[in-house]
Amino acid sequence: MTDKKRQLALAVFLTRHGHHPGAWRQPNSANTGKPDFRYWADLVRTAERGKLDAAFFADFVGQSGDSTKGIARRHAFLDFEPLTATAALASITSHIGLVATVNTNFEQPYALARRFASLDHISGGRIGWNIVSSLEGGAAKSFGVDQPPSHAERYARAHEYLAVVKALWDSWDDDAFEDADRETGVYRKADAVHPVHHDGEYFHLDSVLDMPRPIQGYPVFAQAGNSEVGRDFAARHAEMIYAAAQFIEDAQAFYADVKARVVAHGRAPDTLKVMPGLSFTIARSLQEAQDKFGELEEAVDFSGDLNLMGQDVSAYPLDGPLPDLPEPENGKGRWKQLTALAKRENLTIRQLFLRFNAVRGHRVVLGTPVDIADQIQDWFERGAADGFNLIPPLLPSSLEDFVDLVVPELQRRGIFRTEYEGTTLRQHLNLPRPFNPNSKSAAPEKPTLETAA
């Protein structure tokens, strides 16, 4: 045990313009829909300058075919395929973790296990996987899924997917290629390979991964489940869980719930970092920050179709209450949060859109760097968060403000690193390196950071 203070984990959720729907129309945002790798490279370098644990890349497929009337006026979530971008970003950075989203509904586990293993070696052990199993209509059609499986079935498939990719990563001992000997002509240890024979409900394979075991053993697993089955999946597999909560009581309840589930699965509670989203606007005074955020809100376009967390509400008056609507198949947890907020504060559809949708249900903090650091520290110390998934409303400026003004304040308080101490994402997050169960050496009783690569 060291007497070092518990450290915050900080990831940043990067999007092209920033998360606020009013962002793309601001003069200082990237207002073009054309992909621009240099812009992404600058964002990730800024995050690394701030010593953040990771940059996070979401992925939502199958939305481009939407031709409803409002769509041409909305910024789109179209950008680089995350694994491709991550490979390029790994080569221009040295420490920051890179977390890429990949959906378990579409791809065979072998192909993905190989790509993640490659990325982990390319990046020197800095890769994370945000495991999603959502299936929107457009995504199903893009991949020729005619009969979309239910929510429960998608999670069942994801469980089996995880078992298969882990077995593939474990199909080589960590030291399989360490003793190549020119003299004797032995290239690798003969008994270091452990073929996978899997005959399951969703996948069938006999295979050995065409790539040595990842530097981190497995990529760091991130997940964002909110439903019962989603939280349980996270408790079994995830090491970071992204959450969305606007009020501390909700965040504390979520934190206590998922930590209890982690323990029930036989894991140490700190092997899953709970990371609620945090939208922030920083200025010299609260008033100035409110004015800055207000500029984003004024730029939101309410013409055309209006969608509240996946539900079309265009048929109802914008300045009237939210009617009773059936719970959606995707995003049940967030729908519950949204309807609770509508009731609690008696909000109109327009107000709900600005309060919830515009920040996708995440906590919003406005103020000076000290105010923002106070609010971060408050949740961190009161059982609501192990860290935050930063949701910059406007890019690149919100991230630059955070790195230049809030990070130094957190460092002064001793709750955030001043330098990277390790080189892998697991080391940044103080997560154990997964032991290879096929390995002939005995499993460490309690894996520690020292066992990490």
The residues that touch ligand FMN, with contacts defined as CB under 6 A, are: 13, 58-60, 101, 103, 132, 134, 224-227, 230, 242, 244, 277, 331-333, 389
Q: Report how far residue 314's alpha carbon sits from residue 317's, in angstroms, rounded to the nearest whole number.
A: 8
Greatest Cα pair distance, the chain, in angstroms, is: 81
* Choice between 13 and 402, CB closer to ligand FMN: 13
* Choice between 331 and 396, CB closer to ligand FMN: 331
* Choice between 13 and 116, CB closer to ligand FMN: 13
* Choice between 223 and 427, CB closer to ligand FMN: 223
Least Å distance, CB 265 to ligand FMN, is 16
* Choice between 132 and 415, CB closer to ligand FMN: 132
* Choice between 18 and 333, CB closer to ligand FMN: 333
Least Å distance, CB 48 to ligand FMN, is 20
* Choice between 82 and 109, CB closer to ligand FMN: 82
Is the alpha carbon torsion for 166, 447, 99, 361 positive or negative? positive
Q: Which residue is nearest to ligand FMN (CB)?
A: 230
Query: 57: how many CB neighbours lie within 10 A of its CB?
Result: 24
Query: 45: how many CB neighbours lie within 10 A of its CB?
Result: 15
Query: 50: how many CB neighbours lie within 10 A of its CB?
Result: 22
* Choice between 172 and 356, CB closer to ligand FMN: 356
CA distances from 420 to 11, 52, 210, 314, 410 (A): 14, 9, 32, 48, 15
Give the DSSP letter string of 200-225.
-SS-EEEE--SSPPPTTSSPEEEE--
209: its two tokens:
């991964």
447: three-class secondary structure by DSSP: coil
Give the DSSP letter string of 15-75.
-SS-SSTTGGGSTTS----S--HHHHHHHHHHHHHTT-SEEEE----S-TT---TTGGGS-
Q: Report how far residue 369's alpha carbon sits from residue 281's, in angstroms, rounded to the nearest whole number.
A: 9
Q: Report how far residue 172's alpha carbon sits from residue 189's, in angstroms, rounded to the nearest whole number.
A: 10
